Each structure stands twice: as C-alpha cells, then as structure tokens.
Amino acid sequence: MSGIIGILHSGGRPVDASQLQRMTEAMTFRGPDAQNVWVDGSVGFGHTLLKTTFEADGERQPRSLDGNIWITADARIDDRKGLMCRLELDREPSKTFAITDPELILHAYHRWGSECVDHLLGDFALAIWDGKRRQLFCARDHFGVKPFYYVHTGDTLLIGNTLEILRRHPGVTGSIDEIAVADFLLFGSNMHHERTAFEEIRKLPPASILTWSPGNGLQRRRYWRLPVPEPLRRKRSKDTIDQFLDLMRTAVGDRMRTGNIGLSLSGGMDSTTVAAMAAEYRDTRPGTYDLRACTVYDGRWIKDDEHRFSKVAADALDIPVRAVNTANDQLSVKRDTMRRWTMAPLSEPVTAASNIELKALSRGCVSC
C-alpha cells in the first residue's frame, strides 16, 4: 500500500519542508514507485506511491485539481463507473480511464464536501486540505482495511498510515501505552479501536471522519454503521444464488485492476470461490491478466492437507499455485521488516506465516 503523511500547525507556523521530506523518504518501503511532498505554509503532505492499478501509471500525489484543494491518499475506489456517472465524468469515455482514484475522490469532495464519503466504496485512508475553508478532512474506509493514525500534540497535528513514521517526529515522545500492551498480554490483541502501542498516537476507527478547522478544532465522527436488514427471502433458491454470483463477480472485478494478480488459496470454499471468479474474469479478457496463487501450510506440527485441496482447485482453474511449508520458511522472515509495517506487539507466528505467503506471492505477481 502507498504511504501517506501530513503535518498541520494550527498556530500558523510554517511546516519544516526538509523534515516532511525526510519522513516521506522513510516511507519508500510502502511506495517505491514515486515520492513527492507538498507544502503550503502551515500545512504539508507527503506521499509514496505503490502502483496497484492500471490507472496508477499516471498517478502523482499529493494532487490537486484546482490548486486549492489537495489530497494524499492510499485508496482503491470500487464501482468507479457508477461514481463517474454520478459525478457526470462519463461523458467523455476516452478520458475516464485516465482518471486516477485520488482524482475521483477530489471530484467527489468538490461536489459533496465532507459528505463525499457517502458516495465512496472501496478501501481508503485519505487526507484532504481545503485551502479556501482552511479545513483538514480525513477519512478511513468502512471496515478499516487501510490503516490511519494521528497525533495531536501542542499546536501540531500529524496524520499518516505508518506508525513508525509518526513516531519519528520530534514532537512525539514515543511513550508506551500500557493499556494497549496489557490488552495484548491478556487477550492477544488490542481491545480498544483507538489505541496503539504508543500513548500519543491514536487510530482513526473504521468508517470515521477526522476534521480540523480554526473555528472547531479537532473533531471526529462516524459516518457509517453496518446496516442490519430484514432476512432476505426469495421464492426460488436460484434467485438467491444468482444474486450472490452477481455480487461476487462485481466485487472480484473491482479488484482486478492490474495485470499481475496474486490469490491466497486455503483449499476451502471462500478462497476457491474468489479464485473461480477471478479465473472467469481472466478468461473473458485474454492476455490481460497473469493470475498466480499461493497456499501456506504447516508441515511439522499439525496434519495440514489444505495445500493439496488448493492445488486441485488451482489446477482446475488453470492457475499456477505455489505451496509454502512454514516449517521450512518461517525463520527466514526478517523481523525488522515486520516491525517497520506494524510497530506494535504481534502474535509473531501468525504474522510470520502471513508475511511468508505475501513474499511468495510477490515473486512474480502482485497480491490483490
């Protein structure tokens, strides 16, 4: 995922551009494809780009459409066609493909302001500076897929998606949050949606907005809650199946916006269904996609046949699959690499297995 960083001095003192540049450069492990910063007096953004979509080939952030409203974001927007239609951007089809996801978000903000999140689908962590209103607007996606952290210390507000980078700012002491650590020791995870391992650094909860303006200061609100509708009842089972398949095809298709795609296979129904949809999508666009799959299993401590079932499914779908035995590869995971991404207490065996799978997927393909 791409890296984002933002600095705002509410008292009006200028942002140290060299400091912002150093913090941005430290995020190149998140975004090796491009790094840029933007500073306007008391506010500044940094961005490191990881290209994960076709449209990202022309992406540069921080980005503005008019020189007044700027964005830095790690985002993948789904249902692009529907959003473009609502924004009336689909009138020139030849130009719509070139519109990047951050530009789509900017168009939505220009149209709907802070209500733009009501029109966004996908995974995103974003920050927008509205120069005319002197307002900072930040948002995190509905389920919190993308991380978003912030620090408010004195007259400085820091935002970003990488704990280590925020920790590097001289205004952050790095004091440990004992409650978060106690949660990990007792329960194996942080039980508070807002706390991190550091006392001063907070997480923006999923489906939440963070804003700052001179008149209102720092405010946070939730913009969405998972609806609980009435049970879905159909007269025919086939109708339910057809609707499920339609939704799955849409969801998988929205995530197939790059040529090299990695699939994580477990041998069960869920991942096999996703793989089947991806293969179906691939077969309708010959030569566009290179699908690869990976499955991870434990060959030492437990009897684990998942990799065999994964291979049966992958072979049937004509998808090359790699089986990784964690008993052989687990010690090869570099802990410093894991620390850079998390900077938090971890259940290391589980995290190590996940990292092994992602590394295997990255050899010749990009994980979706």
**pLDDT tens track for 16-61:** 999 999 999 999 999 999 999 999 999 999 999 999 999 998 899 9
pLDDT at residue 197 tops 80: yes
For the ranges 110-119, 197-206, 233-242, 334-343, the lowest mean pLDDT is seen at 334-343
What pLDDT does 340 receive?
Answer: 58
Q: How far apart are alpha carbons 216 and 221 in whole angstroms?
A: 13
pLDDT at residue number 366: 41
> Residue 217: its pLDDT value, please?
94
Give the length of the chain. 368
Residue in the structure block whose two tokens are 């449209």? 55
Q: How far apart are CA 227 and CA 157, in angstroms?
A: 33
pLDDT over threshold 70, residue 368: no
Q: How far apart are CA 273 and CA 245, in angstroms?
A: 10
- Domains of the chain by range and CATH? 3-222 (3.60.20.10), 237-362 (3.40.50.620)
Q: Which pLDDT belongs to residue 365?
A: 45
Lowest mean pLDDT among 78-92, 148-162, 318-332: 318-332
Mean pLDDT, rounded, of the chain: 88
pLDDT over threshold 50, residue 367: no
For 130-187, write each residue's pLDDT tens digit.
999 999 999 999 999 999 999 999 999 999 999 999 999 999 998 999 998 898 888 8
